[in-house]
Structure 1
């Protein structure tokens, strides 16, 4: 339920912080506020929030460095980056350090609320299922074994930990293996919209997933121009 969601907001813009806090508190969210990455790290360790909403450019410690610290001790708590930057290298860096989503300023409060709900819902489901091994679903992708509830993609003895968004996208691709995954349908399901920024973000996730899967030459994520993607398993059927 909304009123049980505890947000750690790490943002140095006072006006934006006030707007986000007042708007979301009216919807029942609870808040912990930090003004920079150093405070954010202390608050994260002390408060154990359900989700972190983190600005990228901050004094003392930037958002990327903060999330790197968080991911060293916690792979489950979802993170949404807030940023004025929208270049692909910036998006890629945010995803590389462990961000689950990326929102460009200015943004809609309704969109922020939607994304918080989706990420927290998925995180709580994953945690519940992580405590119940019998509920773990294992999906075969060539020589890989993918456990979406655990965010784990394993190849032989190596385990790659995916972000929630990477896991969600790979699960969609796997569900449509050797068939077209419509680009707009995937954007709407995972991001709730299909604007150019989220489309570029998905392209970055696809690039990251390709790197994760390149250990098996029979697995390929093919780009179908202007339509979407296909996860091809050239060593199997279906």
Structure 2
């Protein structure tokens, strides 16, 4: 006698079809099978059995053979056209060689002769379902492993994203959307743009741009050698510590690049593994006195373009930083004739193009033609295939003009803004293409309206929302304009080059300005402004840069000739 309890334990989660045309056998065997399976479907013939199979997820088929409409073997043949694995127990009182060959070829798993011996039927069920049970267990195990893997991946990804957000908070860019005005006749101002593109969430690259004193900045690029968490930890540690030093020197007012590097050296050497190295560019720029000091520790060369369009390449002057201390040197360079500077990590110049060529072969030419980090990366992307390393780019460009093409004074009234923007639109028709002009004017209008609302009228974003929601916005502006005598000055500077034109517009209001770092640091209280208009303009323009107070913006757009 079979141990039915053990069989039921194995088959309790299975779904079975039983096909039988004779009512006596159908009722008898159905009763015997009740309780063995999760679901038991009963069919009167092969056609009903085939339909039940199509509509349900079946683990086992138990069927008679000789039936009207469609025999058991004909039904199995139809099922095998789409399913070759489901086990079949054939109940039959008739067997010959041809029948057996056909049944075996159709994948019949077990045969039980009629009249039915139930011990034989239970044994057939036990044998036929073993493979199904094993496959189900294996699939369940795989599904559980997959779910566990997905959970781990989700958890790790979440932790990496949180760590990356933390890294972005640690990185400081005191020149984000800012310009450095040089006190001289005409217009002379440095614009700084950057691009930080890690290959993975956890990056071995990092950078800092820290203001040390008036018009003096420390720029560092960090490239921790290696991949993954170890390199990322080194980069974050380096960034955090140099940040700490920058704050300390700025407060004390006695910055020394030599002391800064020595202090970093002492700190990072205790944290590095025996075989670990870190490459760093330390660049200290005194913009007022046009002087740069640098210490490059196995980093790519600095690229400088002078007013004669000649490229100066300043190569690394120190080995990489390792566990043991080595002496280092600091170089000096006169920037009085320099108009562009590029600092970057080796993910840029050592990337291979789609033609299997190093981007280093194209970098100098692309740098000389570019005016921002965004434009340089756009040129890079055209040539390159997939990124193979983290990329950090810091691009400095000098706007230097002794003359202004045209300037406009806007009185603090909405109607005056409309009139003047129409005049500017007409002026720029000679330089911008028909499809470019409306887009550029949209960005310019956003900045002018920002100067009007948030600058001269001192209307913050929260108050503006309330006024709009209560339909009092226009009434408020009209009332405020009555006694407000502040103006907006718009200067147009157009620089012509061989194959392109740079359109620069400087917008100055008489308001108290705003903290530009609010646009960079989402952790600060930014109820003062939403930044929507600035972000719209930034997406359209090649660059937008504010002065120290935040009440003057320079925007620019590069336009190719020949169109």
TM-score by length of 2: 0.22
Quote the Cα distance in structure 2 between the aligned partners of 1:2 and 1:129.
Answer: 15
Q: Which residue of 2 aligns with 1:113?
A: 122
8 Å contact 2:11–2:129 — kept in the other structure? no
RMSD between superposed Cα atoms in Å:
2.2
Aligned to 2:67, the other structure's residue is in SS state: coil
* In structure 1, distance between residues paired with 2:37 and 2:141: 30
Partner secondary structure for residue 81 of structure 1: strand
Cα pair 1:68 1:98 within 8 Å, conserved: no
SS at match of 2:127: helix
Alignment of 1:9-28 (within 5 A): 9-27=18-36
Using a 3 Å threshold, how does the CA distance of structure 1 residues 80 and 125 change in structure 2: closer, same or farther? Answer: same
Which stretch shows the higher mean deviation, 51-60 or 87-96?
Answer: 87-96
Q: Are 1:68 and 2:82 an aligned pair? A: no
Instruction: Indicate the larger mover: 23-32 or 106-115.
Output: 23-32
Q: Write the distance in 2 (CA, Å) between the matches of 1:109 and 1:6.
A: 20
Q: Distance in 1 between matches of 2:81 and 2:113?
A: 25
Which one of the candidate residues 36, 53, 75 is aligned to 2:62?
A: 53
The Cα shift of 1:129 comes to: 4.8
SS at match of 1:112: helix
Distance 1:95 1:62, change over 3 A: same
* Alpha-carbon distance in structure 2 between the residues aligned to 1:65 and 1:28: 25
CA contact under 8 A between 2:16 and 2:37: conserved in structure 1? no
Distance 1:97 1:47, change over 3 A: same
CA-CA distance at 1:29 after TM superposition: 6.0
* Offset from partner CA, 1:117-141 (integer Å, 9 cap, x none): 22112123245557999xxxxxxxx
Shift of 1:108: 1.1
Q: 1:200-215, aligned counterparts within 5 Å?
A: none
TM-score, normalised with respect to structure 1:
0.51
> How many Å separate the matches in 2 of 1:113 and 1:81?
13
Matched position secondary structure for 1:118? helix
Question: Equivalents in 2 of 1:107, 1:17: separation in Å?
Answer: 12
CA distance in 1, matches of 2:33, 2:139: 29
- In terms of fraction of residues, the more helix-rich structure is 1
> How many angstroms does 1:75 deviate by?
1.4
Distance 2:131 2:93 in 1: 26
CA drift at 1:86? 2.2
1:87 alignment partner in structure 2:
96
CA distance in 1, matches of 2:32, 2:139: 33
Q: 1:91·1:102 contact (CA, 8 Å) conserved in 2?
A: no
- The runs of at least 4 aligned residues of structure 1 exceeding 3 Å deviation read 26-30, 126-133
Q: 1:48 to 1:108 in 2, by over 3 A?
A: same
In the TM superposition, 1:1-238 aligns within 5 A as: 1-27=10-36, 30-126=39-135, 129=138
For structure 2, the residue ranges without an aligned partner over 5 or more in a row are: 1-9, 143-563
Look up the SS of the partner of 1:82 in the other structure.
strand
Q: For each residue in 1:209-229, what CA deviation from the matched residue of structure 2 results, as whole angstroms up to 9, or x when unmatched?
A: xxxxxxxxxxxxxxxxxxxxx
Cα deviation digits, residues 121-172 of structure 1 (max 9, x gap):
2123245557999xxxxxxxxxxxxxxxxxxxxxxxxxxxxxxxxxxxxxxx
Per-residue deviation, 1:98: 2.2
SS at match of 2:68: coil
Query: Do the aligned residues in 2 keep the contact of 1:94 with 1:102 (CA within 8 Å)?
Result: no
Encode CA deviations 1:71-92: one digit per residue, 9 max, x unaligned. Answer: 1111121001111112222211
Q: Alpha-carbon deviation of 1:43?
A: 0.3
Contact in 1 for aligned 2:112/2:124 (Cα 8 Å): no
Give me the whole-angstrom Cα distance separating, in 1, the residues matched to 2:136 and 2:81. 17
Deviation (angstroms), 1:4:
1.8
Deviation at 1:9, TM superposition (A): 0.5
